[in-house]
Amino acid sequence: MENADATIEQTIDAILEVLPPVWDRIRSNFRNAGLGRFGISLEQFHTLRHIYRGFHHSGEIAQKRQISCSAVSQAIDALVAKGLVVRSPDPDDGRQVRLDLTSDARRILDENVRENRVFMRERMNSVSAEDRRTVGAAMDILKSAFLAD
């Protein structure tokens, strides 16, 4: 049992050492593209992405992102002002306001994701095919361990 505990601790240390700086680098690339090319903040980008994924109400987005409703409202207000999100009455619940993306928002999301995939592809080019498969398997393992709830 002691060996299993040591393996768990080593795995936790490796995850905490590697994932935050890798994600910071990816986020930085998203942020730079968003601000530089599209004039949107990372918060606004995440809000657009959640609407794209089917979260059409601010409360849903706040809950999913685990942030305050006021933070989501600020992002939505800015996105509406930029012509990237439209508000309309929800046909299923008149008390709710439905959020939808404009065609410009979809274009921005597509371009931003495409740019970041190019960035990631450039980084992964130096990794062998076998190691890329290992990384993919590791991501599947982490997904099942942390996102199973």
* pLDDT tens, the chain, 149 aa long: 567 788 899 999 999 999 999 988 888 887 777 767 778 888 898 899 999 999 999 999 999 999 999 999 999 999 999 999 999 998 888 788 999 999 999 998 888 888 889 999 999 999 999 999 999 999 999 999 998 76
Using alpha carbons, list the distances in angstroms from residue 71 to 62, 68, 118. 8, 5, 30
Q: Is residue 17 part of a domain?
A: no
Check residue 140 and give its pLDDT: 94
Q: Is residue 118 part of a domain?
A: yes
Q: Is residue 50 part of a domain?
A: yes
- Asked if residue 26 lies in contact with residue 120, where contact means CB atoms within 8 angstroms, the answer is yes
Q: Is residue 141 part of a domain?
A: yes
Q: Is residue 132 part of a domain?
A: yes
Q: Is residue 6 part of a domain?
A: no
* Of 135, 134, 123, 107, residue with least CA distance to 40: 107
Q: Is residue 13 part of a domain?
A: no
Q: How far apart are CA 92 and CA 96, in angstroms?
A: 8
What is the domain-level CATH number for residue 71? Answer: 1.10.10.10
Q: How many domains does the chain have?
A: 1
3-state secondary structure (DSSP) of residue 98: strand
The domain containing residue 104 runs over which residues?
26-146
- Asked if residue 71 lies in contact with residue 61, where contact means CB atoms within 8 angstroms, the answer is no
Q: Is residue 70 part of a domain?
A: yes
